[in-house]
């Protein structure tokens, strides 16, 4: 049985894939406790032989939203990077390259935050 994704592309279900969509949702719910959507996709591919969740018509992030585990991982990672760089600069006050990279990382974080706030409304 073929399903269509949002862009209209068809992904036929592989013959070797024995999981149903309900089983896949349960599996993603388990993995969502520990892992990001990207890591979940790799685990599904490597351990369970699921080439893509688009076989069932949705992306992993859509399943995360259904489960209620959706969060902005990109924003979280940008914030962690800024915090690490601030710690580095406290220890290495003369590192001019790190100061410049901190400015760029802060700018990137602020842009992501502004974008995510705009999308929430």
Q: Which tens digits make up the pLDDT trace of 54-91?
A: 888 888 888 888 888 877 888 989 999 999 999 999 99
Per the CB < 8 A criterion, the answer to whether 112 and 74 are in contact is yes
**Mean pLDDT to the nearest integer, 41-55:** 88
Cα–Cα distance for residue pair 109/36, rounded to 1 Å? 19
DSSP strands (E only) in the chain: 2-4, 10-12
């Amino acid at each position: 049985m073929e399903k269509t994704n949002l862009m209209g592309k068809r992904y036929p279900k592989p013959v070797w894939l024995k999981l149903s969509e309900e089983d896949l949702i349960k599996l993603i719910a388990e993995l969502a406790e520990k892992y990001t959507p990207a890591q979940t996709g790799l685990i599904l591919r490597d351990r369970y032989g699921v080439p893509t969740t688009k076989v069932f018509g949705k992306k992993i992030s859509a399943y995360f939203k259904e489960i209620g585990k959706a969060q902005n991982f990109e924003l979280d990672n940008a914030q962690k990077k800024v915090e690490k760089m601030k710690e580095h600069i406290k220890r290495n006050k003369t590192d001019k390259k790190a100061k410049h990279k901190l400015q760029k990382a802060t700018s990137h974080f602020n842009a992501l935050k502004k974008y995510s706030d705009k999308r929430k409304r």
